[in-house]
Each structure stands twice: as structure tokens, then as C-alpha cells.
Structure 1
Amino acid sequence: MRPAHLALSTAAVLVVPLGAGPAAAAAGPPGIPTVVTASAQLAGLTVAPESSAGSYDRDLFPHWAAVAGTCNVRETVLQRDGQDVTTNAACAAISGTWHSPYDGAVWHQASDIDIDHMVPLAEAWRSGASQWTPAKRRQFANSLADSQLWAVTDDVNQHKGDRDPSAWKPPLTSFWCTYALSWVNVKHNWQLTLQSSEKTALQEMLTTCSTR
């Protein structure tokens, strides 16, 4: 049985710079915009019904590509988002501490962590990625340049599935602001569409943000 979830303060789930020394907070994904920027990006997204749902296949988005040496994207995110992470010769994380921003849980085994695609691959497929080239879908599934990839509790990620914010929100309500900022920015960066119910949910989540 897993240990009980440990509550974190709101500050523990904010994206902060990576500092020097072993006690530094985890870096988290890059590229999360301000509320003003995200609001403008949300207003500019195209609202359209989803399409091509029946033709989705996860294999259309090759993921966990090699990054450097024996390290792939999953292991890279585990190292980026964890604290005091140690790895073996194959670059697999063998110890560390991970704070899951979605639910506030703290984990000490990498096996308890999933690397979540902020905008799920199936959601992206239904929102325009079905028209992309295989190379672009691979880039999207492995993107380290924006806030698409998050290290989170595996069970929470599985519960999220491929649902957008109109159907699923993180259990930790203090993270709703950052979640909406990240979701909007990823959809903007990759020029994906969204549904009207999704847009409404994101607008509501952005109202939880303090001034940034």
C-alpha cells in the first residue's frame, strides 16, 4: 500500500527557478505565461468541434525520445521536476523526491510518478493534430521547450485520462491557475483548437489566479 499523501503548501506547487545546491526546489516545466498573456492567447484560440476521434492511436505520437546518452524524455523530466534525484547507468531514477502539483502528494519512488502531457495526446489529435506530420506529433509528445510535460502522481494522471478542463480539473484547487495557464499556452503554441465548454472552464480557472 502506498503511503498517505502529504499535504503541501501552495508555494510548493508553484513553478520556481532551479537554485544551486541539493536543497533547491525543483525547476518545473518552462514557459508558463502570465495571466494577461494567457488570457490574450485564450481569446485568440479557434473554437471548433472536435474531430477524428475514432482514428486516434497513441502510437501516432512516438514519445519518450532519446535526449542525451541513455537519458530519454521521461527520465529528463523526472530529473528536472524532482529533488535530490539520483540515477543509475541507464539514466533511470533510483531515488529522489517528487512533489505532484496536481494533488499535492509527495513521492520517493519514480514508479509512483507519471509524466503527464498537459494537453493529452488524444485531445491534441481531436483538436487538430490529426492533420500534423508524424514528425510534428513526435515533437509535441516529447516537448521539453514548453509546459507540456509534468511529473505527477500516476493514479491522478490516469484519472485525468484524455479529458479537457471542462470534464477534469486537478484535485488541488490551488493549482487550477497554473494548470489553466499551462493548458492555454500549450494549445496556443501548437495552434490547436478548443471547444466552447473547454474555453469556459479555462476562463473560470483563470479567475482563480492572483496578479502575476
Structure 2
Amino acid sequence: MPSPAVARLVVLVSGAGTNLQALLDAAAEPSYGARVVAVGADRDDIEGLARAERAGLPTFVRKVSQFETREGWDRAMRDIVSRFEPDLVVLAGFMKLVGEDFLAAFDGRVLNTHPALLPAFPGMHAPSDALAYGVKASGATLFVVDGGVDSGPIVAQVTVPVEPDDTVETLHERIKVAERTMLVDSVGRLAREGFTITDRKVRFGR
């Protein structure tokens, strides 16, 4: 797990990169304990890559369509991310599922967020599903990625109330704000304190 030295983060994005920007802003403080060393994407011409380039960071793109198989793409992502020797890999709005080869290379060190309180409402439509179910509270989860869909060990969660007049858009927007703070705070703690995973329980500290 990350050492007391400044942890190296590789961040993968698919869109605007607002979570990436939050990590970049936090990492500007030496006390944060982590720095972004590279940013990758599964598509060209996105704001997330532009943010990285403005920050002077190396970037890379590996599109699924460039490879004959999904497994080939997964290995290519593994290989390029490995070059930057990350302590943690953060999927920040990355819209592709990484596979077995990728996860094996960074065992227990790949993080993702989800806009619901897992294990409730996994999948692509969590805010919509939560509203349809009529829950009174939703939120966001930071978890360690495993081979399932939004099923890995939970690092942190934050609760967001569901208002009577919420739409999918208004609820999701409030969740994203809370999610961003949770991500920044938790990645900093993971970097500074280290962590262990035992029986699905993520504990800070070495």
C-alpha cells in the first residue's frame, strides 16, 4: 500500500474531469500526501485531458475500438498505466470497466466512485433508480474496484438527502458535489496513512 512518501496517482477520465481537477487542486498542497503523475482516457478531445495538459501532466488515450478484443484493450491500459508506477489508480468518471489483467496488476489499489450508497443501486442509473424506489436519502460511495460491477470493498460513503421536488438531474448534481469532497479527503488519507483490506473491510493505517 502507499508509503509515507508522496503517493503517485494515475487518474483515468472519460469526460469533463471535475473530480480530476479536485484532486489536482488538493495535490497542490504539499501536506496532501499525493500527486497526480499521469492522466489517461478512453476517448480523445475531452476536457479531462485538457485539464491534465494545462497542469503539465503526461496524458494517454487508449480507445476500445483500437483493439481487436476487450482483453487486448485491458492489457494495453495495464501496460501504459504501469509505466507511471502508481501507488493508486483513480477512476474519476471513467466510463469503461477495467478487466482482470488490469486489476491484477494494481491489486487492491484501483479506486472508483459511485453515485449511490452501495450495495444499493449499482449500475449506470443509480440516481434514477434511487428516485424511482422512493428512498429518502442517497449519496456516494468510494470503493476498491474488484471484478464485479460496483461490488468492491467500501472505503468511504457520504449521505445526501433526497428532496421532495428532486429530479434525477438535481439529485445527481448534489451527489456529485458530495462525492468530490469525499474522494479528495479519502484519497489523501489513503496516501498519507496507508490502508489494509481484510474480509472486505478497508481500514486506514499501516
TM-score normalised by L of structure 2: 0.30
Per residue, is there more strand in 1 or in 2?
Answer: 2
